[in-house]
Structure 1
């Protein structure tokens, strides 16, 4: 396991514990998906963001387990402390995902920049940003009813 992988695992565990305790680090939540093979709940910390009032998730580490789980079953939950919100995740492609990715890079590059191609930043061209979206999926979250 690389040093970056060890740091990422420790950081994710820490942020996940904070989210379960009700403390959000710059928008962090605990995402719950249903395992595509096991059918069991799976959790991971994510950075929830809103663009024009609409909630989104971006997968900075690419085609991860949570991404594959969401593609199989788009019903997800986001937890912050005892507050749980349910959503249907809809993958956003192409030009529609560019402003979301640009905002994500602007807000969280300090945390996730190592996972993106060299030279791609919030100030990159639309074409450069569109070029990384297939490798770093973007999901629009359509709210369902809150669960407490």
Structure 2
């Protein structure tokens, strides 16, 4: 079953989607283009790109949303901002690094209300608290 975005976020996501399509910079947001797992059509979603420990990561703060299921079905994707595109491969991570990535994501995007609401753990609780939340938040490493 696909996780649903909070209704306010679903409405608001149209704005960054449009601005990023036009090429306006909205760091750390980029457009993730995946192939629909059932339709085969291109699907586009704004996502926050996390740079941590010399790598790039995508975290799904709202669980198994459509882009996560699409990425699991076909790891080939594109990151886009305006006319600039980059083909990538999304590799799901479910090992000892995952809690560290979730903690880094929560710290990096702490000012975004939706991110704060999506996590039950707080950064001051440490990595162990994010380890307990790991099953709720898929994490993907971006490979060139």
The C-alpha deviation readout for 1:71-98, integer Å capped at 9, x for no partner, is 0101011111110011110011132112
TM superposition shift of 1:114: 1.3
**What does residue 54 of structure 1 align with?**
55
2:29–2:46 Cα contact (<8 Å) kept:
yes
Gapped regions of structure 2 (runs ≥ 5): none
Measured after TM superposition, the shift of residue 25 of structure 1 is 2.4
Query: Which 4+ residue blocks in structure 1 deviate beyond 6 angstroms?
Result: none
Contact 2:103/2:126, CA 8 A, preserved across alignment: no
Structure 1 residue runs of 5 or longer lacking an equivalent are: 144-148
Checking the alignment, whether the CA contact within 8 Å between 1:94 and 1:133 is kept in structure 2 is no
Whole-Å separation in 2 of the counterparts to 1:95 and 1:109: 22
Q: Is 1:115 aligned with 2:105?
A: no
TM (norm. structure 1) is: 0.86
Query: Where does residue 97 of structure 1 map in the other structure?
Result: 98
State the Cα distance separating 1:130 from its structure 2 match.
Answer: 1.1
SS in 1 for 2:100: helix
Q: Any conservation in 2 of the 1:94–1:130 contact (CA below 8 Å)?
A: no
The separation in 1 between residues aligned to 2:125 and 2:48, in whole angstroms, is 21
Structure 1 equivalent of residue 31 of structure 2: 30
What displacement does 1:37 show?
Answer: 0.7
TM-score (structure 2 length as normaliser): 0.89
Say if 2:71 is the partner of 1:70: yes
Comparing 47-56 and 121-130, the one that deviates more: 121-130
